[in-house]
Each structure stands twice: as C-alpha cells, then as structure tokens.
Structure 1
Amino acid sequence: MTVLTESSETQFLDAVDVVLTGFFARGRAGTSGLPATVGQLWDALASSATGGKRIRPRLLLSVVDGYGGGPAGTSDGAGWSPEDPAVVTAAALELLHTALVTHDDVIDHDFVRRGKPNVAGIYRRRAAADGFDAAAANERGQAAAIIAGDVALAAAYRLVASTRARQLPVLLDLMDAAVHSAAAGELLDVEYSGHLRVPSAEVVLQTALLKTAIYSFDVPLQAGAVLAGAPAEERQLLCRVGQDIGTAYQLVDDLLGVFGHESATGKTTTGDLTAIKHTLLLSHAVRQPGWPSVAPLLTGAGSRTDVETLRDFLVASGARAYVQTMAREYAERARDAVAGSSLPVALRADLGVLIDAAVDRVR
C-alpha cells in the first residue's frame, strides 16, 4: 500500500495547474495596452505547457508524500494549496521543462510538440499567413520561441524564490544544477549530431544524463527530499536513482523516436534519423558489419524509403535490442537501489511504479 493515493496526486497536480494558470494569466494581463502579438505569445506559451505527463511534479510529490509530509501546515488531509512550497516548486520545475523544450524545439527545427503546433509552429503559421516565404516564416517562428523560452526560464526561478521556504538556497542550487546540466547536454547533442562521426556509447549516455535525466528525474526527487527534510544520505540515493531512471527514460524515448507510433508520441518517427541524431541506437549500429552499405542513406534520409531501410538495419544489426537491454539495465539498477535502501516503505513502492512507467510506455 502506498502513501501516494490517486486522490492525493490529483489534488496536487490540480494545485500545480492552478499555479501555472495563474502565472500565465498574470503575464497575459500585463500585456494590456501592448500590440496584440505580445499577449498572443503568452497564449502560445501557455498552450505549450499543457498536455504533458507532469513527470516532475509526480516525482516530487512521491518523495514528499513518502516521508509523510503532506500539505504544509495541515495534518487533517485538507488538501494541497497552490501556496504550498511543494506545489510551487513542482510548478517551477514544469515551467523550467517548458522553457527547455521550447528552446530544444528551436535547436531541432521542430514546429510540433504533443501533436500540435508549438510556440515556433504557431508563430511560423502567423508569419506565413502574413505573406512571408517559408524560410522567413521559420525564422520568425523560432525567434518567438526563443523569447517565450526565456520568459519561462526566468519565471521558473521566480516561482521557486516565491516559496520563501527555509530550504530556498538548496532549492535554488538544484535549479542551477538542472539548468547547467541541461545546457551542457544540449550543447553536446548539437556538437555530436548532423554528421557521421558518431561518438561512443559512453559519450551518448553522458549526453542523455546531462540533457534529460538530471533536470527531469534527479532534481525533482532531490527537491522533494529537501522539502520533506529527508536525511542527506537518502537524498543522495534519490539523486542516483533519479539519474538511472532518467537515463532509462531517455533511451526509451530514443526508441520511440524511431520505432514509436506518431499518433501516440505526438512526434515524427523520422526526425532523429534525418537530423542524424547521435542516439545510442546509432552509436551501436555504426559499429556493426554492414553499416557502410547503409551509411550513405543517413546523410540523405529524406525519403520514407531511406528511413525504412535505416530502420530495418537498426533491427537487423541488433541496435534496437541493444538499446532495449540497456534501458532495462538502468531501470533494474534503479529498482535494486530502491529495494535495498532505507527509504520509507511507501516511497519505495511508489518509486517502483514510477520506474515501470518510465520504461513501459508508448509515448
């Protein structure tokens, strides 16, 4: 039996949504008297923040609840308030995520996320309607997305500061760790993509850790531990567990980016190959016999036939099976660390569910 009941999670996530809705409403209201496009940028940013899995709030809540630290100042199950430091911190982590994926879409030249136009896509469409050619419309859409991402990034820090929690300095340090690691991972992703000099598996895994695992899994778990007053050694354990879960999650993401169903993922299954993204799939494939015969397709993988041939090679060469195995190994390492720990029983159970959800998914 876990502490994290469905009703507690729903109340918490609803409170997080109240914080985010309030933030976007205040930002929108502040554009009164300005040209309409300024307010519409806030609308586009708000739209991009909806529809996600809310992974980061769920992780933070699992730790806070696991240590028995329900809503601040209550002991009667009165429910989560939008002013609760845990709720506000979780909302800040979601805003940080929104900022990072908004900028990531610019870097990747993506104009759709979760099956709908992202900020860049919305403003590209507006520019095209205003008569700009395709290249100019792309540039204008991406410029708007950079601005929107900057707004969300600054707001994430402001939200954490607004909690005035006694643990604020530590929470801000965690925000820094999230941003700095994600920036490093994003840079490595850019440096290693777009050409055939595919890095080693070790480098690819380091990139996944920096770009995704730390800010989306490690930091939310640590933030929950800080807010719950968990012992330092257990916070460090949650750090390591979060990094392993996050790496497994990213490996599954890479698999879905090539072999998933676009209707489920909301993303193209050709983009990683056409952009020559150096995932673990590719890192393994280039070192297998037969790669030289399909490598030329990668530099010109514009046709569906080329992509299908490359996809078939990833299966036949064992690359797909290899990445599936690696994802399971990272998940099992996290599961073993949790099972052999002194973490609260309820938290161990919740983390087991979260580990399963990270790897057994279609989106």
Structure 2
Amino acid sequence: MIATVPHPGIDAAIDDALARIRTRADSLGSGFTALAEALARAAQGGKRFRPALVSASFDAFGGDPRNASALAPVAAAFELLHTAFVVHDDVIDHDTVRRGIPNIAGEFRRRGLAGGADAAGSALLGDAAAILAGDLLLHEALRLVALADVDAATRERLFEIFDDAVYVSAAGELADVENSVVEDCADPEAIFDAAFNKTAVYSFSAPLRAGALLAGAGATSLDVIDRAGGRLGLAFQLVDDLIGAFGTAEQAGRESGGDLRESKRTPLVALARQTPTWPRVNDAIAVAHTGPIAVREAQRALEESGARARLRRLVAETLDDVRGMSADTSLTPAAGMLLRDLADAVERRVP
C-alpha cells in the first residue's frame, strides 16, 4: 500500500521485542513459554504498514538517516500496538482462527483440551491467554518508546501520541461493540464516530505524526499531517466496510459478505437506515447468515437503497480532503506527495 521501503531496522526491532518476551518467559513456566511462542507467530505475516508509515513520514519530512536511531523502535512500537489490538479484537469477536490457522485463543483452547479441560475450561484458557498476550504486546510497545534514543521533550510528545492512539481506539472498539448489541440502532453520527475512532488514529494519524516529529517537523506541519491522517483513516475504515459487505473473498480475507452474515451495524447500514427501503434492507440482513443466496439478496437490497453509492461518495470526498491538505504550504513536497499516494492507495481498494 505504501510506495516506500521501510527502514531496515524496523523488522529487527520487532523481532528483538518478541525475543525479549520469549527470554523472559523461559524462566516463568512452560505455559508462559508456549504463550510467548504463540505471540511471536501472531506477530508474523502482517503487512506492517503502520511502521512503514512512520518511516515514510520521517523520510518525507527530511529526516536525517544519520540521526534515525529512534526511528526503528518507535515504528516497531506501532506494529506491536496493532498486534495487541488484533489479539484483543479476536477475544471480543470470539474468533479462534486468523489467516486460516488457530490464533492465540485457538492455540490455547487446544492446549486446554489436550490437558484434559472441558470445553468451557479450554475456552476460558484460550481467552485468558489472548488477553494476556495483548497486554504483553502493549507493554513492549510502550517500553520501546520509553527507551528510544530521543530527548526528554520528544519522548513526552511521543507518549502523547501513543496515549491518544490507545484511548481513542479503545473508545471506538467499545462503541462499536455496544452499537452491535443494544436493541436500538445508534444514530449514523455515532456509528461514523466509532468507525473513525477504531482505526484512524492508531493506524494513520499517530504513525504519520510520530515520523514527522522524529524528523523535526514544525507544529503547523504536525497539525496538518495529523488531520490528513485522520481523514485517510476514516476513508480506509469506510472502504473496509464496503469490502466487508461487497468485496470478494480475496479482498475480505474470508467469505464474501462477512459483515452482512454477522449483521454488523456499519456506516453502510447506518446510511441504508435513512432510506425508504430500510425495512427491506433490514429484513434481508436479518437472514443473511443463512447462506450465500441470502447474502446476495442483502447486497442487492443495500445496492438498491443507494447506501453503497452514497458511502462511495463519502470515501471520495474524504480522500479529496486529504488531497487538498497535501497542498498545504507547511508540508514538504515529499510529504504532500506521500499524502496523495496514500489517498490513491485507499481509493484503489474500493469495491
């Protein structure tokens, strides 16, 4: 997604943090060693685009590679933060498989069953292992920032960036879950806020801002890159919602129409709720879990309601905002180009 080569030290910093967890685990029992190994597997195979954003922003703002000792650990911290959120999300969603193989919860459910636990006991063990693994990753992410080779003022500002990323993301996840379980559907504004908070800050605004900060960008530039990152993150999440409803199995990484099968209350559904055809859409989504024919009917109902077209327009408008911000005179030409490249990359994902 990002047309740049990540800093070569980032992968090493991630590997070092995971190795540290394993080293600490070796003296704390076989169960904890198994957790460290499962955690390392969970951290492998991702796109690692958040660390790449830190690196790309650093380069775009003219960061001096000779003074880049803090870049790798700070960028690595964003990948560990992301993995922690993913691990915790799987617990929230009761998922035991990721990318076609057992995730941490799934591995420890199997471990429990192999040790003689019943189904309830093995489920408890799986959830506990995943929660603790996410906690360890959060700790290691903050440890990397705490030990980064920066002056005290920069460290304080980096912690402010991470503080915002964690708090806003937690609020977004909680709101998303609450919106999905309460009887009354939240208003569209609340659903869009949850969509923004879940992803935009920790995945876009915070990494871009951190890289710019490490490069020595000024306050105005930092504000522009922060706002543009927020708009990019919102567009990215809205595209994810379109993919979750209309994307191919290859795009979604699971069966097509997964969000419809799960009756998720996404911005797409919120927009459909505002149309005269909502009763038909609602009825179609209610039975989408029954199979592919019902999924296709829900997709048709959403399409005919105009919600899909309206959400695609919102994505386009949001990305146009980013392109407008990219021309801000406080940005370097390379930073402006980075924002435009990212906007184009998000746009290419639209199903």
* TM score, norm. by length of structure 1: 0.88
1:311 alignment counterpart: 299
* 1:50–1:271 distance in 2 versus 1, CA, 3 Å: same
Letter in 2 for 1:49: A
Tell me which of 173, 180, 198 is aligned to 1:193. Answer: 180
- Superposition map of 1:216-227 within 5 A: 216-227=203-214
Instruction: Please give the per-residue CA displacement for 1:41-99, whole angstroms capped at 9, x wherever unaligned.
Output: 112211222222222112211221112213243xxxxxx7xxx2011100001111111
Letter in 2 for 1:102: V
Tell me which of 222, 225, 248 is aligned to 1:235. Answer: 222
Asked if the contact 1:99/1:149 (under 8 Å) is kept, the reply is: yes
1:18 alignment counterpart: 12
2:280 alignment counterpart: 293
Instruction: Please give the per-residue CA displacement for 1:247-294, whole angstroms capped at 9, x wherever unaligned.
Output: 000001111112223334324444423443221111011222232234
Runs of at least 5 residues in structure 1 that lack an aligned partner in the other structure: 74-79
1:39 alignment counterpart: 33
Aligned residue pairs total 347
Asked if the contact 1:194/1:275 (under 8 Å) is kept, the reply is: no
CA distance in 1, matches of 2:298, 2:167: 34
* 1:70–1:125 distance in 2 versus 1, CA, 3 Å: farther
CA distance in 2, matches of 1:320, 1:136: 43
- Superposition map of 1:27-106 within 5 A: 27-73=21-67, 84-106=69-91
* 1:297–1:141 distance in 2 versus 1, CA, 3 Å: farther
Q: RMSD in angstroms over aligned alpha carbons?
A: 2.3
Tell me which of 130, 133, 140 is aligned to 1:148. Answer: 133
1:259 alignment counterpart: 246
Tell me which of 278, 294, 297 is aligned to 2:265. Answer: 278
CA distance in 1, matches of 2:261, 2:252: 18
* SS of the residue 2:289 aligns to: coil
* SS of the residue 2:144 aligns to: helix
CA distance in 2, matches of 1:144, 1:274: 28
Structure 1 position 242, deviation (Å): 0.4
Structure 1 position 214, deviation (Å): 0.8
Letter in 2 for 1:330: T
Structure 1 position 31, deviation (Å): 2.0
Instruction: Please give the per-residue CA displacement for 1:133-157, whole angstroms capped at 9, x wherever unaligned.
Output: 5555443322211111011011111
Determine whether 1:332 maps to 2:320. yes
Asked if the contact 2:180/2:264 (under 8 Å) is kept, the reply is: yes
Letter in 2 for 1:53: K
Asked if the contact 1:51/1:114 (under 8 Å) is kept, the reply is: no
Structure 1 position 336, deviation (Å): 1.0
* SS of the residue 1:341 aligns to: coil
CA distance in 2, matches of 1:139, 1:269: 30
CA distance in 1, matches of 2:271, 2:163: 33
Structure 1 position 245, deviation (Å): 0.2
Asked if the contact 2:228/2:339 (under 8 Å) is kept, the reply is: no
Instruction: Please give the per-residue CA displacement for 1:309-345, whole angstroms capped at 9, x wherever unaligned.
Output: 2222111211222211111111111111112433111
Structure 1 position 21, deviation (Å): 0.9
Mean CA deviation greater in 102-111 or 25-34: 25-34
Identity of aligned residues (%): 42
Asked if the contact 1:185/1:209 (under 8 Å) is kept, the reply is: yes
Structure 1 position 301, deviation (Å): 4.0
Determine whether 1:210 maps to 2:210. no
* 1:191–1:119 distance in 2 versus 1, CA, 3 Å: same
Mean CA deviation greater in 347-356 or 301-310: 301-310
CA distance in 2, matches of 1:52, 1:234: 30
1:116 alignment counterpart: 101
Asked if the contact 2:112/2:122 (under 8 Å) is kept, the reply is: yes
Mean CA deviation greater in 238-247 or 269-278: 269-278
* 1:355–1:188 distance in 2 versus 1, CA, 3 Å: same
CA distance in 1, matches of 2:236, 2:30: 39
Runs of at least 5 residues in structure 2 that lack an aligned partner in the other structure: none
Asked if the contact 2:245/2:259 (under 8 Å) is kept, the reply is: yes
Asked if the contact 2:3/2:341 (under 8 Å) is kept, the reply is: no
* SS of the residue 1:310 aligns to: helix
